[in-house]
A and B are shown apart, each in its own frame.
Chain A
Amino acid sequence: MAAKTFDEMRSGPDGAVRAPYAGVAQWLASTSAERLAATRQEVDLFYRRHGITFGAYGAAEGSETTIPFDIIPRVIAWDEWQYLHKGLTQRVRALNAFLADAYGEREICRAGVIPETQVLMNAEFVAMAQGLELPGGVHAHIAGIDLVRVGEKDFYVLEDNVRTPSGVSYVLENREVMMRLAPELFSAMHVLPVADYSEELLATLRSVSFSDDAEPNVVLLTPGHYNSAYFEHAFLADEMGIELVKGSDLFVDEGRVYMRTPRGPQRVDVIYRRVDDGFLDPLAMRPDSWLGVAGLLGALRAGRVNIVNALGNGVADDKSTYTYVPEMIRFYLGEAPILQNVPTHRGDRPDDLKYMLEHLAEIVVKEVHGSGGKGMLVGPTSSKKEIAEFAQLVKARPENYIAQPTLALSTCPTFVAQGVAPRHVDLRPFVLSGRKITIVPGGLTRVALKEGSLVVNSSQGGGTKDTWVLAPE
């Protein structure tokens, strides 16, 4: 992999500004540092007043915090986006085919491509979801695919998120803020809009109702306002004009799901749930859950309500299944993968494990089911002691870990305390699958605000940027 960090603005031929960034570079050069600083303050105020907050679990109400927003946009050229669009579509089609198969005949296992234990022994496997015929055969209706870039033409998929990926509200709000702050930039460059996401999402949700009602009743199920992503839940429900419900607003009667209203019970056809599998139905899953609805799974199995994303999607997006995705693409679609995986070593393979343990100081080791930047070791930035401790963890449960080379994530100019400096970024586009596949241009760019840091997670001090896909010339 490229040794030198690729800067998305500066790494043009002979160190020139790359073409897609011409407008941004000019804007930066012509805007004073004071003006930029003032703009940044305006942003923080805007986010607080709007209450666009991200609260950590268990924190008191007053501790809602905002995710830092960086005012310098990240730019993607039209042809780059075309390539990503194709690759993302292909990957999500394969993931959906795999999920339908994993909860169906498991042909991919019988063909010897993926070991059956990979599916059945997976902690995320939900036995009750087997044999269900879901509308359109879709399981991962909303997928967030995390991409990183290491060179002019080198993009890698870092991870697939097909359970309840979040972050799309920031894509939409960041754009609103950016249009307010730098209208002059928009008039200089032709940026593809993202505001139709909510409409596409609603169309996707409606298209996967079991009922043939012309206007199926779609609701968004939230764990409630203590959830860290509550803002996003309320935002999306508002944008789509659908009810934002908690488990206590719903009940099941005779195999149908209803919501409680002053008019009496109203039928629900599709539930866009932002509640994890285990909490959905206290009768079928965790009996101590207050967030779910008793009897919900029964209604699903009876084909009376669809749950989006489907149950048990975790079998497709953990870091060990990840290594099989290129094989899935070949198996189900008969195509060569367009987007590449990061070369990954698996702890459950003896040769790979040996390599991992010998190279801990150079590589990144992650827990198979970990998320949010936790339970991982970044070798090059860790102390000897940390590495030794982590080695013990890996030896104790090798199958629980995978390892990847330390990628030199691309950087983008970012406004930090010292002025404008390059910081590492990733990209999470959101892929909608209903009767068709839709991807709004761009996605969520996360940026590691600490110098040299490669961890972009918001829970670990990451920020976000508006992501611009430029229209074709």
Chain B
Amino acid sequence: MLSSTAKNVYWMGRYLQRAKTTARLIEATQRMALQSSGKEAEGVVAIFGMEEEFRHSQSQEGQSQSQGKRQLVDLIDFLAFDESNPSSIVSSIGSARRNAREERNNITVDVWESLNGLWLELSAKLRGKRTNLDRGALIESAKKQAVMIFGAAQVTLLRDEAYNFFQLGAFLERGDNTARILDVKYHRLLPDGRPHSDTLDYFAWSEVLACIGAVRTYRRIYRSSLDPMKVAELMMLRRDVPRSVHHCLWMVDLSMRELADTYGTRGEADRLAGELHARLRYARIDQVFDMGLAKFLGGVRDDIATLSDEIGRQFLLD
């Protein structure tokens, strides 16, 4: 396998996951906006650090007359359909498809066709006017198809080096995304960081879970009402929740070990992946809160970023 193949499948995994996360985020935000009158738009943009770009795209369109509703529509368009936003669903799917197209001979027909199909659908509907109904349907379709692409990868891809790079990209991105969502949302909902508050916004907390599609999962696990500490535990530390930071870093560590076995070499990226996995595996939620959730999460996010850089260096993916 070529180094350039490793790079392409790794980024294909990352972009696909990014698109899926964004689709979920939009849906959760929309629900939230419909049920309470918060300023949630800004919060979502903050997750990917895109506040500047979003304000810029809004001022360009020069239409801030009836704020509120208008802003939500703008936000959805920015996050989903704006080609100048590199994290938008359309941009992410476009990038994933570009990577896939360069590796058509290394991925299965099932993976390629499902990804290409999604891209065709999105690009066909990108131009012209969109109603709210169109927006919803398109985002839902993108989310479902992204799930199917991952499914196709699971059941059809050969378990070789390329597969490990694909997994590595997807789980690193997913772990990073969950950590970002929890960090930003928690900070907005409980600025002082204390989990026990009298004025708990039920809708807001269920929306945080919805961002990673885990509302029902929460009920299954805890069988209790929403508690910010448990929400944080579920999203960070539960190994059995497939979008938790712990689960994702476990998978990252596994993929790294597979690659190390294949190549017979280990580097800084391997050490960091193992350390991060262990940190989340052995952390206890009460201790995390003693230390301060923001501090703990900040450390995890920084180290995921460093790990990403190290992986790029170690495998020449940059």
Contact surface of A with B, Cβ cutoff 8 Å: 48-51, 61-62, 224-225, 230-231, 234-235, 237-238, 243-246, 248-249, 259-263
Contact surface of B with A, Cβ cutoff 8 Å: 1-6, 94, 98, 101-106, 109, 112-113, 116-117, 120, 123, 161, 259, 262-263, 315-316
Residues of chain B contacted by A261 (CB below 8 angstroms): 1-3
List 24 A-B residue pairs with CB atoms under 8 Å apart, sorted by A's residue number: A48-B120, A49-B120, A50-B112, A51-B112, A51-B116, A61-B98, A62-B123, A225-B101, A225-B102, A230-B101, A231-B104, A235-B105, A243-B5, A243-B105, A244-B105, A249-B2, A259-B2, A260-B3, A262-B1, A262-B161, A262-B259, A262-B316, A263-B262, A263-B263
Contact of A243 among B2, B102, B117, B161 (CB under 8 A): B2
Q: A225-B102, A243-B5, A260-B316 are in contact. List 19 more A-B contacts (CB 8 A).
A: A49-B120, A50-B109, A61-B98, A224-B102, A225-B98, A225-B101, A235-B105, A243-B105, A244-B104, A246-B4, A249-B3, A249-B4, A260-B2, A260-B4, A262-B3, A262-B6, A262-B263, A263-B262, A263-B263
Q: Are B105 and A237 in contact (CB under 8 A)?
A: yes
Q: Are A235 and B1 in contact (CB under 8 A)?
A: no
Given A49-B120, A262-B316, CB of A235 within 8 Å of CB of B4: no
Q: Are B105 and A234 in contact (CB under 8 A)?
A: yes
- Smallest distance from the beta carbon of B141 to chain A beta carbons, Å? 15
Whose C-beta in chain B lies nearest to the C-beta of A219? B2
Whose C-beta in chain B lies nearest to the C-beta of A259? B2
Whose C-beta in chain A lies nearest to the C-beta of B317? A262
- Smallest distance from the beta carbon of A167 to chain B beta carbons, Å? 18
Given A249-B4, A260-B3, CB of A49 within 8 Å of CB of B105: no
Residues of chain A contacted by B4 (CB below 8 angstroms): 245-246, 248-249, 260
A259 to B3, CA, bound (A): 9
Whose C-beta in chain A lies nearest to the C-beta of B4? A249
Residues of chain A contacted by B316 (CB below 8 angstroms): 260, 262
Top-8 shortest CB links A-B: A238-B105, A234-B104, A237-B105, A260-B3, A51-B116, A244-B105, A234-B105, A249-B2
Q: Are A51 and B101 in contact (CB under 8 A)?
A: yes
Q: Are B2 and A245 in contact (CB under 8 A)?
A: yes
A243 to B161, CA, bound (A): 14
- Smallest distance from the beta carbon of A175 to chain B beta carbons, Å? 16
- Smallest distance from the beta carbon of B316 to chain A beta carbons, Å? 7
Q: Are B104 and A238 in contact (CB under 8 A)?
A: yes
Residues of chain A contacted by B262 (CB below 8 angstroms): 263
Residues of chain B contacted by A243 (CB below 8 angstroms): 1-2, 5, 105
Of B4, B106, B116, most A-chain CB atoms within 10 Å: B4
Whose C-beta in chain A lies nearest to the C-beta of B100? A51
Q: Are B315 and A262 in contact (CB under 8 A)?
A: yes
Residues of chain B contacted by A62 (CB below 8 angstroms): 123
Of B1, B6, B123, B161, most A-chain CB atoms within 10 Å: B1
Whose C-beta in chain B lies nearest to the C-beta of A51? B116
A261 to B3, CA, bound (A): 4
A118 to B273, CA, bound (A): 65
Residues of chain A contacted by B315 (CB below 8 angstroms): 262
Given A249-B4, A262-B161, CB of A49 within 8 Å of CB of B117: yes
A225 to B102, CA, bound (A): 6
A51 to B119, CA, bound (A): 11
A335 to B161, CA, bound (A): 54
Q: Are B113 and A50 in contact (CB under 8 A)?
A: yes
- Smallest distance from the beta carbon of A464 to chain B beta carbons, Å? 20
A259 to B116, CA, bound (A): 28
Residues of chain A contacted by B101 (CB below 8 angstroms): 51, 225, 230, 234
A224 to B259, CA, bound (A): 27
Whose C-beta in chain B lies nearest to the C-beta of A260? B3
Q: Are A235 and B117 in contact (CB under 8 A)?
A: no
Residues of chain A contacted by B123 (CB below 8 angstroms): 62
